[in-house]
Amino acid sequence: MRLTEKRIAAALREHGYKLTPQRRVVIGAIAASPDHLTPADLYQKAHQDHPTIGLTTIYRTLEILARLELICELHAGGSCRSYTIGAPEHHHHIICSVCGEVVDFSGYDISPLEKRLSRETGFEIEGHLLEFIGRCQNCQQNA
Amino acid sequence: MRLTEKRIAAALREHGYKLTPQRRVVIGAIAASPDHLTPADLYQKAHQDHPTIGLTTIYRTLEILARLELICELHAGGSCRSYTIGAPEHHHHIICSVCGEVVDFSGYDISPLEKRLSRETGFEIEGHLLEFIGRCQNCQQNA
DNA sequence: TGTGTAAATGATAATCCTTTTCATTTAGAG
DNA sequence: CTCTAAATGAAAAGGATTATCATTTACACA
Beta strands B124-135; A124-135: pairing state: antiparallel
Task: Give which of B26, B73, B60, B121 is closest to A127, Cα–Cα.
Answer: B73
Complex ipTM value: 0.70
Cα–Cα dist A27/B53, whole Å: 47
Domain check: are B127 and B92 in the same one? yes
Distance from CA of A50 to the nearest CA of B (A): 20
> Which nucleotide lies closest to A25 by the C1' atom and the CA atom?
D8
Scan residues 46-105 of A and list those with Cβ closer than 8 Å to B: 62, 65-66, 69-76, 79-89, 91, 93-97, 101-103, 105
The domain boundary, picked from A15, A32, A67, lies at A67
Within a domain: B77: no
Query: What is the helix (H) or strand (E) element at residue A60, kind and residue range?
Result: helix A55-67
Cα–Cα dist A11/A6, whole Å: 9
Cα separations in angstroms, B74 against A78, A104, A128, B28, B127: 12, 11, 11, 19, 16
Domain check: are B41 and B94 in the same one? no
Within a domain: B72: no
User: Which among A59, A74, A111, A138 is the top mutation candidate for probing chain B, defined by the most B β-carbons within 10 Å of its own β-carbon?
Assistant: A74
Dihedral sign, Cα of residue B82, residue B88, residue B37, residue A100: positive
User: Which among A123, A125, A139, A142 is the top mutation candidate for probing chain B, defined by the most B β-carbons within 10 Å of its own β-carbon?
Assistant: A123
Domain check: are B24 and B57 in the same one? yes
CATH of the domain at A31: 1.10.10.10
CATH of the domain at A129: 3.30.1490.190
Q: Is A40 on the interface with B (CB under 8 A)?
A: no
Within a domain: B104: yes
Q: In the sheet that B102-105 helps form, which strands lie side by side, from edge to edge?
A: A102-105, A92-96, A124-135, B124-135, B92-96, B102-105
Domain check: are B41 and B12 in the same one? yes
The pLDDT, as a whole number, for residue B87 is 53
Per-residue pLDDT in tens (0 to 9) along chain A, 143 residues: 566 788 889 999 999 999 999 999 999 998 888 777 889 989 999 999 999 999 999 999 999 998 888 887 765 434 455 666 555 556 677 877 666 677 778 778 888 899 999 999 999 887 777 888 788 888 888 76
Q: Phi, psi at residue B107, to the nearest 5°?
A: 80, 20
Q: Which residues of A touch B133 (CB under 8 A)?
A: 125-129
Q: For residue range B54-67, what is the model confidence (pLDDT) as tens digits? A: 999 999 999 999 88
Q: For residue range B14-37, what is the model confidence (pLDDT) as tens digits? A: 999 999 999 999 999 988 887 778
Domain residue limits at B116: 88-141
Cα–Cα dist A75/B87, whole Å: 14
Domain check: are A63 and A96 in the same one? no
Domain check: are A133 and A96 in the same one? yes
Q: Which residues of A3-19 are buried (b: 16+ CB within 10 A; e: fewer)?
A: eebeebbeebeeeeeee
Domain check: are B61 and B105 in the same one? no
Q: Is the pLDDT of residue B90 over 70?
A: no
Within a domain: A37: yes
Domain check: are A54 and A25 in the same one? yes
The domain boundary, picked from B18, B33, B67, lies at B67
Cα–Cα dist B31/A86, whole Å: 9
Within a domain: A77: no
Domain check: are A63 and A18 in the same one? yes
* B12, burial (CB in 10 Å: exposed 0-12, middle 13-18, buried 19+): buried
The total number of structural domains that make up chain A? 2
Cα separations in angstroms, A91 against A63, A66, A83, B21: 31, 28, 13, 29
Domain check: are A7 and A63 in the same one? yes
Domain check: are A101 and A131 in the same one? yes
Within a domain: B110: yes
Within a domain: A74: no
Highest mean pLDDT among A32-41, A94-103, B39-48, B81-90 belongs to B39-48
C1' of D7 to CA of B129 (Å): 32
Within a domain: A72: no
The domain boundary, picked from B11, B35, B67, lies at B67
The pLDDT, as a whole number, for residue A23 is 96
The pLDDT, as a whole number, for residue B76 is 42
Dihedral sign, Cα of residue B68, residue B71, residue B77, residue B79: negative
